Homo-oligomer: A and B are copies of this chain.
């Protein structure tokens, strides 16, 4: 009864017009517009056009709603990664470089959602557990299999640094500089270590 439809959406869009997704979209809009501290149920109600009852029917609590946002984000990220990596192994491209691309692309596309996740995390860190698990799963073997694991790790860290700094509004890098950094990162993980 608590989860009339279970947490993971079973019927993506068939009969159900994906009410949950509409609500999640609204929540994302609220966060990106007013900041993650202003993510309140009433705000989502206002933004989504649904009533409070409707929202709370689909997400029985605020925590559930945030979990919904997080899990949708993770799903998206995992798809991005898996898809890109699959393509990379098919074409023989460098997996580390591929992952860097994915991270930076993700940064550009899902900035707002990631912010929400971040905010949620600061309040209840356990919400980040699945995120951490996903990151570990994807990265560890890539790093381990890289010709220069330390360098691979550094490159991924730098990409993360770029991403996170951007999320926090801390990055003051120009697009040109960022392009240079990106190119250099790819180069660093592509050639075998000089040492």
A interface list, Cβ under 8 A from B: 35-38, 115, 118-119, 121-125, 128, 131-132, 135-136, 150-151, 153-162, 164-165, 168-170, 172-173, 177, 180-181, 184-185, 187-188, 194-195
**With a CB–CB cut-off of 8 A, which chain B residues contact A132?**
169-170, 172
Knowing that A150-B181, A154-B184, A161-B161 are A-B contacts, what are 14 other residue pairs whose CB atoms are under 8 Å apart, sorted by A's residue number? A35-B123, A35-B124, A36-B123, A37-B122, A121-B168, A122-B122, A122-B168, A128-B170, A132-B170, A132-B172, A153-B177, A153-B181, A157-B165, A158-B161
Minimal Cβ-Cβ distance residue in B for A187: B195
**With a CB–CB cut-off of 8 A, which chain B residues contact A164?**
160-161, 164-165, 168
Of the candidates A161, A181, A194, the one having the most CB atoms from chain B within 10 angstroms of its own CB is A161
**With a CB–CB cut-off of 8 A, which chain B residues contact A123?**
35-38, 119
Minimal Cβ-Cβ distance residue in B for A123: B37
In whole Å, how far is A120's beta carbon from the nearest beta carbon of chain B?
Answer: 9
Minimal Cβ-Cβ distance residue in B for A180: B150
